[in-house]
Structure 1
Amino acid sequence: MFLSDPFGGNVLVTDYTGQVVKQISGEAGAWGLALSSDSRTLYVALRDAGAIAAIDTVTLQETARYDTGTGAGVYAGPTSLALAGGKIWFGYSTDTWHGALGSLDLSGAEPVVERGQGLDTFRGAPRLAAAPQDPDTLVAAESDGNYAALAVYDVSSGQADAQAKRVNPGPDGCASLQDLALAPDGGRVVVACASPYYHQAFRTADLSDDGRYTTSHYPNAVAISPDGTIAAGVDGAHSPDVHLFTPGDSAAFKTWDFPASSPYTTNTLQSAGLAWAPDDSRVFAVTKDSSSSSLTLQVLDHPQVATTVTVQEPASSPRNHELTLTGKLEAAVGFGAGNTVDIWRLDDPLAGEGTLIGSATVAADGTFRYTDRPKAKGDVQYTVQYAGDARHASAYGSAVVNITSD
């Protein structure tokens, strides 16, 4: 894990338990972070140096630093990074009241920096988001000002070609934007604004409204896992701090509340303080205790959710003929690709545990099918078993088919 410390000028490196591995110093105004596609290089926006640093994720040493030409400081240097269109894009302030997009191209013999894009949209340095599955889409949202501006760009040409824009987006607007996250396929963006008191989603195709996720006062963080699960956080002293949602479901299936050190203090989630592990197994959260103002990295192990297996079968089938079972896995968290279920057959439902006869691939929507050719007559029981995984509890379902004469 890499965490930026803009006021200390450091990048903190921890393991997945929160233990500090190294503190990389000399990173003035370390703000936004972005990881290369091969995960070997961490890029760091250095607001107070007016540059982007490259850190080797194996040696944990800075290997290069690129001047962005923006100048340095609160109303100049880069603060947010995203990799899209083969470039490193950065958001920065041009002055106290305006922001823009810039890009760093490292594909040639020499680095090339371009600035001054999106000048007509942002009143402060925009936050950026990109998705590996849609590498030519860049989403930017203003982080300063009372009302946010949200924009989607096609960057396939090397330039930020605006596809859609909205100011104060959503049915109830968007005041004081704190964070944004893009779905893995790039099809929707979820934003956390201090007001209204829920997280909003928009389609990136046209920035039309695409639902809401019911949280609480002062939304301030959002992160979307590779399988699409949404972690939505709030700066709330008397309500759950982190909520987990499946895409399109407005009710959370899991929440966490960070306990305070005493009845007279609070322990609150920080702005943009959420991130997922790449294998979806845990959520990381940065919190602050009001009694000491110290920051803590919280490691939230993702709970297994209940899973059901339904099996559909013909009431009867001739012996020595193909028989097809169909069914579906269902859970609050999606299954994605690469899952399988085991198929067991018991020729006499009153005797024994049956025989493992094969497995079936589970589609992304949870459905599966399996074809068998039973030889025994009478009632045959089929059991479909899902072994479970880090996100889903094990489950099984069964069905009985009457096998008739040929």
Structure 2
Amino acid sequence: MGAALAVVLGSAGVVAVGTPAAYAATPSDEVAKLPISSFGAMVVDDAHERVYLTDGSRASGASQVQVYNFQGQKVGSLPTDKAASGMALSADGATLNVSQSDRILTFDTATQARSGAKYTSYDVYCGREIAVAGGKTWVTETPYTNSYCDSSDSNTTLNKVGDTYPVATGWSTTGRMRLAAGPEAPDRLVMGQAGAGSAANPFLTTFDASGETLVRGPQRRFADAAGKGALDLKDIAQSADGKRIAVADAAYGTRLLDASDLADAPTGYQSPAEGAKASAVAFSGDGKYVARGAVASGSTPDLLIQSADPADGTTPIEFAFEGELDGSRVVPRGLDWTKDGSRLFAVTSDGSYGHWLHVIKPPAAQYDSRFTGTLGTTPSKPVVGEPLGIRGKLELDGPAPAEPVKVAAVRKDADGTQEVAAAKVAADGSFTVLDVPDRLGEATYTLRFLGDVTHRPAEDVTVTVDVAKAATVIELTAPAEATREDGVEIAGQLTGQGRALPSGIALKVTRTDRLGTTGELTSASVAADGTFRIRDLPNKKGKTVYAVSYEGDALHGGSSAQATVKITG
């Protein structure tokens, strides 16, 4: 392990939470904001170094397939007559098949020119899955009369696309279908049932597509006798040697199955981190890696890259996506590799309309990172509306990062959870996260280092502070002596920390004479600039004490001040 790069903290205790997470997207990874509001499919064309993406929209009207190069730069688009959903390359890679509601469009992958269209039954609402197996193109179809694409009464048919009209395979079921095929097993078509209703027990099956008609192979359902453990299918992938099928199951994790009978493989992949739900899976073409995507929050991994052999004990490379610039989760079916395994393409979303394409080059090794020492705050007693600094140190093993890394933070208080601006980590490992708490009471700050391309993330640390009311101060300027005839005039100033003091403040004023008699005078009105004046005609000679007090407000504490005046004449 390389020399440690120190990154210090202050005085409150560090509390580790969760498990080591992942490394976030960094300048070493290319990240592109996609011009799509939803995600349909992604295809990687190694021969021409292109990545094709559709948005899977159900909107009517013309659309387009987005085209990117292997560096994550947009290099064009392919126009479609209607919204595009599924895609698949032909067996020889010369043709890109793109499904839309009433036909399968074909594009020449060398020239990017549209080369034809094969008509299919009309499917306006649900989009299509498309796969090439046995040298033939297969699509799913959901009747256009039913817009509830994921409901258990949406009858779906698997069709072979012919030169003019589709040829039904005779297979019909309910709920949305997922298809998978590829060069790993060129004659095998894998189909799984998704969105078939909460009470359903979805299936997974394979077909031999080498002949003119499909020959169905093994089928499996996953729920036990009590109905527990049903499949929640998000993605399907076949291993490079074709012997294994991996299924991203949001209810389970990544299932690894024997392709010959769909039984569980002797050794499976580890369970996802707590709180993560599997969303995507993809094997690299060289057979070395498997990528496993998930929907997770915070520093919980959204992506694992590890040996395709589950018996390999090498620590997975872990990624966490959590930010406005790179998304917060891997979308279903949002992973694909180059054939040589040198690049992984990952599509992430923010859980809404934002989508990003990541081009990830897995590093040869990752090193550990950790928060060290204790977290401290400046000031030690934070107040509402005043800047609060949280000081800390991060230690990185291995090589120093090429770019300054950042520590992210969130604040949780009675109003909920709020992101805090990330802080850069200095060369000595020190950092200061800045925030301005805006409500009273307990606030817990969770600090996160999501890692970089060569460093795993650190365990989250937390510090809890008690945010107090902002202090106020009253200053008085009074004469040392005054006469009963001329009276007493006292000037004052009320100031406060944090948020601006409210308007219309009236200060309580009392007078105590030499005999100890105390009386309340007319309150002093505070001007917008915080100044006020007190005028009084005392009726007794001798030492007289004037006391001025402010009871405070919702965000400011109270304060008081006294002035002593000798009354003569």
Counterparts in 2 of 1:305 and 1:266: CA distance versus 1, 3 Å? closer
Q: For residue 174 of structure 1, report the CA deviation from its aligned partner.
A: 4.0
Q: 1:235 maps to what in 2?
A: 295
- Please give the alpha-carbon distance, in whole angstroms, between the structure 2 residues aligned to 1:57 and 1:237: 38
For structure 1, the 5+ residue unaligned runs are: 307-406
2:372 paired with 1:272: no
Q: Deviations over 1:212-232 (max 9, x none)?
A: 322232101111111222111
Contact 1:139 1:150 in 2 (8 A): yes
In 2, distance between residues paired with 1:162 and 1:169?
A: 21
Note the C-alpha offset of 1:277: 1.4
SS in 1 for 2:110: coil
User: Residue 28 of structure 1 aligns to a residue in which SS?
Assistant: coil
2:181 maps to 130
Report the counterpart of residue 247 of structure 2 in structure 1. 191
**What is the match of residue 304 of structure 1?**
364
1:129-171 deviations in whole A, cap 9, x for unaligned?
A: 1232422211111122244310011122221211111123699
CA contact (8 A) 2:119 2:164 kept: no
Change (3 A) 1:26 1:137: closer
Aligned to 2:79: 25
TM-score, L = length of structure 2: 0.48
Would the aligned equivalents of 1:50 and 1:67 in 2 still touch at CA under 8 Å?
yes
Give the match for residue 500 of structure 2.
none
Q: Which residue of 2 aligns with 1:91?
A: 140
Alignment partner of 1:14 is 2:68 = yes
Counterpart selection for 2:317 from 241, 254, 257 = 254
Residues 26 and 234 of structure 1: CA distance in aligned 2, closer, same or farther (over 3 Å) = same
Which residue of structure 2 aligns with residue 389 of structure 1?
none
Query: How far 1:128 moved relative to its partner?
Result: 1.1
Which of 281, 294, 299 does residue 354 from structure 2 map onto? 294
Question: What is the distance in 2 between the residues matched to 1:38 and 1:126?
Answer: 25
Shift of 1:278: 2.0
Asked if 1:118 is matched to 2:171, the reply is yes
Partner deviation per Cα, 1:5-49 (whole Å, 9 max, x = no partner): 222732100011211111223352311211123322111121xx2
Change in 2 beyond 3 A, CA 1:305/1:132: same
* 1:237/1:266 contact within 8 Å kept: no
Alignment counterpart, residue 38 of structure 1, candidates 81, 92, 100: 92
Cα separation, 1, equivalents of 2:237 and 2:186: 14
Which residue in the other structure is 2:30 paired with? Answer: none
- Over residues 321-340 of structure 1, what are the superposed CA-to-partner deviations in whole Å (9 max), with x where a residue is unaligned? xxxxxxxxxxxxxxxxxxxx
The residue that corresponds to 1:399 in the other structure is none
Larger radius of gyration: 2
- 1:324 aligns to what? none
Identity %: 29
Change in CA separation of 1:56 and 1:190 when aligned onto 2, cut-off 3 Å: same
- Paired with 2:117 and 2:327, the residues of 1 have a C-alpha distance of 39
Give the residue type in structure 1 aligned to 2:256.
A
Aligned length: 291
1:284 correspondence with 2:345: yes
**Separation of aligned partners in 2, 1:283 and 1:169:** 33
How far, CA to CA, are the matches of 2:310 and 2:224 in structure 1?
A: 17
The 1:246–1:61 alpha-carbon spacing in structure 2 relative to 1, beyond 3 Å, is same
Provide structure 2 residue ranges, at least 5 long, that are not aligned to the other structure. 1-50, 147-152, 367-569
Q: Which has the higher contact order (CA 8 A, sep 6+)?
A: 2
Trace 1:64-83 onto structure 2 (pairs within 5 A).
Answer: 64-69=116-121, 71-75=122-126, 79-83=128-132
Partners in 2 of 1:170 and 1:33 — Cα distance?
A: 34
Structure 1 length as normaliser, TM-score? 0.66
Which has a greater percent of strand?
Answer: 1
1:149 equivalent to 2:203? Answer yes
Cα distance between partner residues in 1 of 2:116 and 2:217: 33
Distance 1:30 1:266, change over 3 A: closer
In structure 2, distance between residues paired with 1:170 and 1:57: 46
Larger deviation, residues 12-21 vs 210-219: 210-219
